[in-house]
Amino acid sequence: MRLHRWRGQELLVVDLLPGVDAHTPCVVGLDHPDVQRMMSKRLHGATGLRTATRILDQPPSAIDHAAAYFTGGRVRVH
C-alpha cells in the first residue's frame, strides 16, 4: 500500500503483486467489472485500487499499524 498525492488530495493505493488476479487462490472480488476498470485505468495520477484518505474512518498511520500487525510486517503503507 502507498500514499499518493494528487492535486492536494491524498489517496491510499493498494498495489497488487505481479501475477495476482481474480483467479489467484483466496482472492475475492477482483473479477468485478468496477474493480477491473479501476485496475486498468490511470486515474488521479495512479493505477491500482485506490480511495481518498479523507473518507476513511481511520488515519493512514492506523491502517499501516494494523496491516503490519496482521501480516507480520510484510504489508506497510509507504
Strand, helix or coil for residue 62:
helix
As a whole number of angstroms, the distance between CA 9 and CA 46 comes to 12
Over the stretch 40-76, which tens digit does the pLDDT of each residue have? 777 666 777 888 999 999 999 999 999 999 999 999 9
pTM flag (> 0.85): no
pLDDT at 36: 84
